Amino acid sequence: MGEANAACSRRSWAGEEGEERTGAEQGVRFEGYVGSDNVEGGRIAGRYLVEASHGVARVALLEGTPGHQTGDARLGGFRDGIRPAPGITVIASQTANWERDQGFTAFRNMPQAHQAIDTGFACNDDTSLGEVGRAHDGTPVTE
């Protein structure tokens, strides 16, 4: 909670007389934080793949922006989730930078180089929509 309170104390709002005052100066205090556990989210997806595929799949990964904590955490969690299933193999991995069109292009190109792909995992929803559009009928998903 300390980080949230520190962020609040750096932001400024107009006080009663119009002067700029930080949230902390106005008595604003954060008591909680709502966020997601990206490692666990990736792990859940990996475990689901193990169950749905009966432990056998050839996976193409669409990563987020390299070095971005969210994508790295989801990818790490996914790899943790599939680790107990030696029959699940990651055969291609490419960044799509959180972009739908890059997801579409990457997933169009990966099967040309790795024809055995039968499963895709994307580190975010926009990228996955590009992947789904390509896998479904070759048309980019725009909405």
Q: Which residue has the higher pLDDT, 128 or 106?
A: 106
pLDDT of residue 2: 46
- The long-range contacts involving 119-122, CB below 8 angstroms and separated by at least 24 positions, are 119/49, 119/53, 119/57, 119/58, 119/59, 119/60, 120/59, 120/60, 120/61, 120/62, 121/45, 121/46, 121/49, 121/59, 121/60, 121/61, 121/62, 121/78, 122/61, 122/62, 122/96
Strands 88-95 and 57-63: parallel
pLDDT digits (tens, 9 = 90+) for 93-102: 888 887 878 8
Q: Is the model's pTM score more than 0.85?
A: no
pLDDT digits (tens, 9 = 90+) for 111-124: 777 778 888 888 88
pLDDT score of 108 more than 50: yes
